[in-house]
Amino acid sequence: MINKLIEKIQKTHAPIVVGLDPMLNYVPEHIQKRAFAEYGETLEGAAEAIWQFNKEIVDATYDLIPAVKPQVAMYEQFGIEGVKAFKKTVDYCHEKGLVVIGDVKRGDIGSTSEAYAVGHLGKVKVGSQQFAGFDEDFATVNPYLGSDGIKPFIKVCKEENKGLFILVKTSNPSSGEFQDRLIDGRPLYEWVGEQVDAWGKEHMGDSYSYIGAVVGATYPEQGKVLRKLMPKTFILVPGYGAQGAGAKDAQFAFDRMGHGAEGRSVTAYCNYTGGFILILFNAVGKHARCIFIYFALIPAACSNFSRLPQNTVRTCFCNIYIEKNSVIHFLSSAAPSSLCKVI
């Protein structure tokens, strides 16, 4: 699967992953109204709204990106109906040819870890039959419990041609409370990075291991150290945009050919009475390259977004280099800044 991910990145020229993390207040009002009209203001209605929102984003971007990363907690908050929306999202992304990274951050031991691995990446046996559960292509996992928690995932990945991204140095502000603690004079994240590298050497794709790492762009200096410790580890780089990291902060993760990592794209959007703007830009390099601008006027009778003509999008915007604040400024010129979000 790591080979497929790399091939898709090279084909799209976009080493980014689009996060599908749909809080209900991110969903445009007209989508919510349509879902609530059919299912009521219920958990089922909320799940339908986030599923339709995801579908619109995927339809607008699937040919421009290699992968998506749905965060399971955003779906679990709506109970079983939200989990169904998660599964529908995974399946639909596969139909569109996208690699799916399940952001599940699982971590346990023994049979529990194996059950998590089977549920998200493998197949469960039911009588004489086998069935895939959520069937993501990669999963994020927490290494805090050590090899007992990771090896069941590695076993399933090897059997099913799937992959992992193991938390090494996370992007959140308090990550250092544990991850920066010194053990024999070195921070914990370095010890974890070395172990990820060791696991990865035993499970290689053509050029990178399918045992990857999560290293936040918010800590670029630590990231440089970790890249040296994990030269053949594919790195998932969160933290760009809302968490404060800039495009240049993610550069540590890439090799001289621009390979070896995938950063989270920034999706900036403005939802207001007259329309909806979705801007997707590639957070790699000195600046963020805008790869897609999606604008739809939404009259009362219109239920779907309309993609701008290809020549309009690519001719007018694809070669414009912009920083995050410029995007927000652009959106704010069309609507109050309070309605503009970076997600």
pLDDT digits (tens, 9 = 90+) for 110-121: 899 999 999 999
Tell how strand 99-106 and strand 67-70 pair up: parallel
Dist. CA 161–CA 92, nearest whole Å? 20
pLDDT over 90 at 102, yes or no:
yes
Q: Average of pLDDT values for 206-216?
A: 93
CA dihedral angle for residue 260, residue 266, residue 222, residue 121, rounded to 10 degrees: -60
Taking only the tens place, the pLDDT of each residue in 219-229 is 889 999 999 99
Tell how strand 67-70 and strand 129-132 pair up: unpaired
Dist. CA 91–CA 54, nearest whole Å? 12
Topology of domain 107-264, per CATH? Answer: TIM Barrel (3.20.20)
β-sheet bridge partners, residue 327: none
Residue 26: predicted pLDDT? 86
Residue 263: predicted pLDDT? 59
Dist. CA 53–CA 282, nearest whole Å? 21
Residue 220: predicted pLDDT? 86
Mean pLDDT of the chain: 78
Q: Helix, strand, or coil here: 130?
A: strand
Q: Average of pLDDT values for 123-145?
A: 96
Position 316, amino acid = C
Q: Average of pLDDT values for 90-107?
A: 96
Q: Helix, strand, or coil here: 335?
A: coil
Residue 249: predicted pLDDT? 67
Taking only the tens place, the pLDDT of each residue in 283-340 is 444 333 443 434 333 322 223 333 333 333 332 222 222 333 333 333 333 333 333 3
Catalytic: which of 105, 123, 232, 248? 105
Percent of the chain exceeding pLDDT 70 equals 71
Residue 239: predicted pLDDT? 77
Q: What is the pTM of this model?
A: 0.79
Residue 15: predicted pLDDT? 83
Taking only the tens place, the pLDDT of each residue in 189-200 is 999 999 999 999
Q: What is the largest CA-CA distance in the chain?
A: 65
Percent of the chain exceeding pLDDT 90 equals 57
Residue 243: predicted pLDDT? 67
DSSP assignments along 50-92, one per residue: HHHHHHHHHHHHTTT-SEEEEBTHHHHTTHHHHHHHHHHHHHH
Q: Is 105 known to be catalytic?
A: yes
User: Which of 69, 81, 64 minimizes the C-alpha distance to 137?
Assistant: 69
Residue 339: predicted pLDDT? 33
Contact 248, 277 (CB under 8 A): no
